[in-house]
Amino acid sequence: MEIRRPKISILGAGMTGSTTAHWCAAKELGDVVLFDIVEGMPQGKALDLFEAGPIEGFDVAVRGTNDLRDTAGSDLVIITAGMPRKPGMSRADLLSANYRIVKDLVLQSLEVSPDAFFIVLTNPVDVLTYVVKKVSGLPRHRVMGQAGVLDSTRYRTFLAEAIGVSVKDVHAMVLGGHGDAMVPLVPYANVNGIPITHFLSKERIDAIVERTRKGGGEIVNLLKTGSAYYAPGAALAEMAEAILKDRKRVLAVTTYLEGEYGLRDLCVGVPVVLGGGGIERVIELELSEEDRRALQVSVDEVRAQIAELPETL
């Protein structure tokens, strides 16, 4: 009996898309299709990755294409295509350029993969996840954005470095929009259950919170051209694994809210249970007054960007 492997289509074969393909193949999450409009580029990157299989020991197919029809029957579609963020460019500046790219890709993908889950990476991710939710008409459990997983791993990295412990033992989460007003939660951050306030002063924690908020910009400024791709790709692969292997992971995911946290009709990062049913449950945390106010500031930024969309959804 032939056993069908899951099919993962990654739309956009730039640095983030190709790195996501790498992580997904290495984890053997399923067969990977790498799509891009640039002729030869996704084919070359996919072939290069496929040829690493005998060394790394992953038995999955990796294929590149310029034809979206080759993504037909996908279980999961990951959208990384779009204009990258450049130094001095705000996430809001990206909106006009990336709106139509993402809208066209999701509508075309739905025609050939009507049962797929969609993960959006393209920035500004909160607004574009909202766009995908609205134009697709899909239930919210099948549409999500990757931001909180990335922001949380940056937060955890900085905390582990400052405390001097393994990153495996640091648990922390970031809520809100994927921008400078994101909310790295301090009360829930811990080292195997020990609050981070046991290890770090308020001043040191505040500095780490601020660095987390500016984490993407820090890398953009260092690279000069382009933006981060290793950690974003790993974060996408973690979300893909949670869905395709029904891990029931508790992760901060950009989610369409339907009253949770007192919010409706927008997408921001909140903790969810991510498994074989996609977003299976939204977890409402009890927030301090300070964190609640900070979340509202972040939400207001996202709503302002939604208001700038070229079309009413």
DSSP codes, the chain: -PPPPPEEEEE--SHHHHHHHHHHHHTT-SEEEEE-SSTTHHHHHHHHHHTTHHHHT----EEEES-GGGGTT-SEEEE--SPPP-TT--TTTHHHHHHHHHHHHHHHHHHH-TT-EEEE-SSSHHHHHHHHHHHH---GGGEEE-SHHHHHHHHHHHHHHHHTS-GGGEE--EEB-SSTT-EE-STT-EETTEEGGGTS-HHHHHHHHHHHHTHHHHHHHHHSSS---HHHHHHHHHHHHHHHTT--EEEEEEEEEESGGG-EEEEEEEEEEEETTEEEEEPPPPPPHHHHHHHHHHHHHHHHHHHT-SS--
Task: Give me the mean pLDDT over the 63-79 stretch.
Answer: 98
Confidence of residue 137 (pLDDT cuts 50, 70, 90): very high
Is the domain defined by 148-307 classed in CATH 3.90.110.10?
A: yes
Given a cut of 90, is residue 135 above it in pLDDT? yes
Say yes or no to pLDDT of 123 above 80.
yes
Domain-wise residue ranges, the chain: 7-145, 148-307
pLDDT digits (tens, 9 = 90+) for 85-118: 666 766 566 787 899 999 999 999 999 999 999 9
Q: What residues are annotated to the active site?
A: 178
pLDDT at residue 94 in the model: 73
Give the whole-number percent of the chain exceeding pLDDT 90: 89
Count CB neighbours of 108 within 10 A.
14
pLDDT at 240 over 90: yes
Q: What pLDDT shows up at residue 86?
A: 66
Q: pLDDT tens, 268-303? A: 999 999 999 999 999 999 999 999 999 999 999 999
pLDDT in the model for residue 303: 95
Q: What is the mean pLDDT of residues 30-47?
A: 98
* Superfamily designation of domain 7-145: NAD(P)-binding Rossmann-like Domain (3.40.50.720)
Q: Are the C-beta atoms of residues 155 and 174 closer than 8 Å to each other?
A: yes
pLDDT band at 311 (very low <50, low <70, confident <90, very high): confident
Q: 92 is written with which tokens?
A: 């809001």
Give me the chain's average pLDDT, please: 95
pLDDT confidence tier of residue 310, bands split at 50, 70 and 90? confident
- What sign does the dihedral 302-305-306-307 (CA atoms) show? positive
Distance CA 199, CA 164 (A): 10
What is the distance, to the nearest Å, from the Cα of residue 211 to the centroid of all Cα atoms in its chain? 19
Q: Which tens digits make up the pLDDT trace of 164-218? A: 999 999 999 999 999 899 999 999 999 999 999 999 999 999 999 999 999 999 9
pLDDT score for 288: 95
Instruction: Report residue 105 as tokens.
Output: 């890709």
pLDDT in tens, 223-239: 988 889 999 999 999 99
Over pLDDT 70: what percentage of the chain? 96
